[in-house]
Amino acid sequence: MAVAGSACPRRRRLLILASSGALSATAARVCAQAAQDGDALLLARPLALPVEGVPASALRDTFLEGRPGHPHEALDIMAPRGTPVHAVDDGRLARLFSSVPGGLTVYQFDPAGQLAYYYAHLDRYADGLHEGMPLRRGDLLGYVGTTGNARPDAPHLHFAVFRLGPEKQWWKGTAVNPYPALRRLG
Ligand SMILES: [Zn+2]
């Protein structure tokens, strides 16, 4: 359920704003380009699945689902509390952050600093995890939980991907649907 910041309007809202003239054609084009570009970048990454024991065939595309007050733009991957969560890619641990919606979260950047991977509602972090550390695909990040606004009886990993802007701010980006890139892994 958690949501992270976005530099561009959400993808569906973008169309509405652009067609009503509330957003300039140039701004709309830049945002649409960022979304497309993010899709291509993600599909080019050699990824691993984030939740131990949950195969690609069990994933559900919850990216376009609505959530109270905002579109979801992430995958919810259901798993028992305490299930290990692993890094989907190599890169760097950009930020460990605790937020009201996301609870215990991890922001990871890909090796080129173009994509951010966001893991939320963790029950706890893996021992020794710290900001700035290099990560390898498959590294243990933490454990599935219900911190933040997840229902206590529905532990899951909220997993999102963002196309970072040139400033590479960990809290800002254009949402990319991780489903196609993860689903093809199995
Ligand atoms: Zn979610």
184 CA distance to ligand 1 centroid (A)? 21
Confidence of residue 115 (pLDDT cuts 50, 70, 90): very high
76 CA distance to ligand 1 centroid (A)? 5
157 CA distance to ligand 1 centroid (A)? 7
* 3-class state of residue 104 by DSSP: strand
For ligand 1, a single-atom ion, which residues have Cβ within 5 Å?
Answer: 1, 74, 76, 158
User: Taking the model in full, what pTM does it have?
Assistant: 0.85
Using CA atoms, how far apart are residues 73 and 138, in angstroms rounded to an integer? Answer: 23
Please name the amino acid found at residue 108: Q
Percentage above 90 pLDDT, the chain: 72
Instruction: Catalogue all structural domains in the chain, each as residue range(s) with its CATH number.
Output: 44-183 (2.70.70.10)
Q: What DSSP designation does 22 have?
A: S
Percentage above 70 pLDDT, the chain: 91
121 CA distance to ligand 1 centroid (A)? 9
65 CA distance to ligand 1 centroid (A)? 9
In the block, residue with structure tokens 């691993």 = 48
For residue 25, the model assigns a pLDDT of 77
Name the nearest CA neighbour of 118 among 102, 129, 130, 100: 102
For residue 10, the model assigns a pLDDT of 62
Using CA atoms, how far apart are residues 61 and 164, in angstroms rounded to an integer? Answer: 22
Q: Cβ(147)–Cβ(123) under 8 Å? A: yes
> For residue 132, is pLDDT > 50?
yes
112 CA distance to ligand 1 centroid (A)? 26
> For residue 7, is pLDDT > 60?
no
